[in-house]
Chains A and B, each alone.
Chain A
């Protein structure tokens, strides 16, 4: 698909218009806003089409542009409402994980904390890989069963079973360190 020609660009527009539109709808934008953002996305695709060398996929490239358009739209709302400083992409992605001051251990407790962390990592590593990933996605990232299942391409029932078994195993292995293993 040659984006430098009108025919090629129109073909891409018609192929991806609804996909971009529904991407914005799924992100929670209203219909008319999604329509505006879709137009904006293709305008940006057009303006930067010279930078697309075909080394990456066209759909992922358009997606990345749409993603930025959506983020900018959300930012513009914050700017218009004068609600404070801009939020960085890193923060919006939820990474790095914030650790409140109250959670930072005192220096004297750090040795014990290191020990618990090491035991925790060891216990996690002893779980079967797929079970461990379910635990990590559930606990590190606070995802829902459905989301974990989609990301790992397994059924929701499998996720539930993995988490149940992992809970039992971690309780056994870490009972000296944690008494509150719930997830």
Chain B
């Protein structure tokens, strides 16, 4: 018999329920944060510990706070490369609208940027200006040793021969000027399967190759803003009943961001079904497809 179900265990739980109303006001999270840092006076710490011992709600809160305030990265985890944080910021930045005159940079300014080192097929077009990420205000590039570009190019060549992602069936794909290429976090703009092609045989699209393990796809629905949230489902294109992944996100602008991790998607052909959710009902609004190539 577990200790919870013994007469003693039941009596303790009954006692806890009886005394629930005697706990008094719950300390604020700020108080718990200061307590956790060991910066409260001894008497105050005793009061907080007494509350904690009898309050599962505050215990839960404090344990989660300790998880948040714990060491970063946790033991055994890899630190997040600075480039990924920068890429995440660039992905988020277009969704933030700061009051005029307070912006340090002009994120919507279209800045001509050199073509990425990837060789792109001819169908690739530039994204619309309003979807271009910030380029002005970027810190100047640092000087690098003369041998570094050649080394990186060689590594890049060797790794991309085997692994890549092939994006097909979309109306347009833009890599030019996207932040991920600089930040080591490839960004693809996927537009819906074009209305011209929809229902017909899709054309083969461009086949950019990457060496990185994570891709960030910006999905641009045709009809943004008219739904309270989006839900996407990634299925195998050849067998749509095989769901690989699904999630829901509030609409936050005219894009929906999808992360694709190499290890989640074995080589194959995938379809992203994007649903708009309105009044609890889902409407299939767009489809996107991509392929992960064999190593």
Chain A positions within 8 Å of B, measured between CB atoms, are: 4-7, 9-10, 13-14, 17-23, 25-27, 31-33, 35-36, 38-40, 42-43, 46, 56-57, 59-60, 63-64, 66-67, 73, 76, 80, 90, 93-97, 99, 103, 113, 116-117, 120-121, 129-130, 132-133, 136-137, 139-143, 147, 150-153, 174, 178, 180-183
Bound form: Cα–Cα A43–B14 in Å: 43
Q: Tell me which residues across on chain A come within 8 A of B41, comparing CB atoms.
A: none
Q: Can you pick out 27 interface pairs between chain A and chain B where the beta carbons lie within 8 Å of each other?
A: A4-B98, A6-B102, A6-B103, A6-B104, A14-B85, A14-B89, A18-B79, A18-B85, A19-B68, A19-B69, A22-B74, A57-B33, A63-B29, A90-B57, A93-B60, A95-B60, A97-B13, A97-B20, A103-B13, A120-B11, A120-B15, A121-B15, A130-B49, A137-B52, A140-B53, A147-B63, A152-B52
**Contacts A26-B67, A31-B261 given: A7-B11 contact, CB under 8 Å?**
no
Bound form: Cα–Cα A96–B21 in Å: 10
Q: Which chain B residue shows the least CB distance to A19?
A: B72
| B38 within 8 Å of A (CB atoms) | yes
User: B23-58 CB contact bits vs A (8 Å, 1 = yes)?
Assistant: 000001110010000100000001001101111110
Contact of A32 among B7, B63, B105, B264 (CB under 8 A): B264
- Name B's interface SS: helix
The 8 A-B pairs of least Cβ separation, nearest first, read: A133-B53, A136-B53, A180-B6, A32-B259, A178-B8, A23-B68, A95-B57, A95-B56
Chain B positions within 8 Å of A, measured between CB atoms, are: 3-4, 6-20, 28-30, 33, 38, 46, 49-50, 52-57, 59-70, 72-74, 77, 79-80, 85, 88-89, 91-92, 95-96, 98-99, 102-105, 214, 231, 246-250, 252, 257, 259-261, 264
Are the C-beta atoms of B80 and A18 separated by less than 8 Å? yes
Contact of B6 among A36, A116, A182 (CB under 8 A): A182
Q: Which chain B residue shows the least CB distance to A33?
A: B247
Are the C-beta atoms of B50 and A129 separated by less than 8 Å? yes
Q: Tell me which residues across on chain B come within 8 A of A103, comparing CB atoms.
A: 10, 13-14
Q: Tell me which residues across on chain A come within 8 A of B73, comparing CB atoms.
A: 18, 22
